[in-house]
Amino acid sequence: MHLLQLGLTPYRVAWDLQRDLFARVAAGEATDTLILVEHPHVYTYGRATDMANMLLTPERMAAIGAESYEIERGGDVTYHGPGQLVGYPILNLEHFRTDLGWYLRALEESIIRLLTSYGLEGFRIA
């Protein structure tokens, strides 16, 4: 697996990189990659977003310099900002198991174990 550590990077730059890497990994032209990055203030909206969950007005977002993007994922409103490490794994699951449920549980377990190694409690919410 290749690791890219981008530091503080605008969301749009990282998003474009993810989409490019996804296409290249899917085509067998690039290896599985983990992108680690921080973003300036940004809110993303997935396909299932309930905009009532977005608590900031456009004026308040402008005042803090926040951007927003509607993207191709499920889920609701997500915030990312400086000081928050974000990981974007770009993987061909055929290299592991082609079971998305298995992958998500394995990723979740890895994060829980990492937190435990730092003396922090992580857990699943059923």
Which pLDDT tens digits describe the chain residue by residue (126 residues)?
899 999 999 999 999 999 999 999 999 999 999 999 999 999 998 888 888 888 888 899 999 899 999 888 878 899 999 999 999 999 998 888 888 899 999 999 999 999 999 999 999 987
* CA gyration radius, the chain: 16
Q: Which amino acid is at 99?
A: D
pLDDT of residue 52: 85
| DSSP code at position 14 | H
pLDDT of residue 96: 86
Q: What is the pTM of this model?
A: 0.84
pLDDT of residue 55: 86
pLDDT of residue 97: 85
Element (H, E) at 42: strand 42-45
pLDDT of residue 50: 82
Which letter, b or e, does each residue of 82-116 get, where b requires 16 or more Cβ atoms within 10 Å of its Cβ?
eeeebebebbeeeeeeeeeeeeeeeeeeeeeeeee
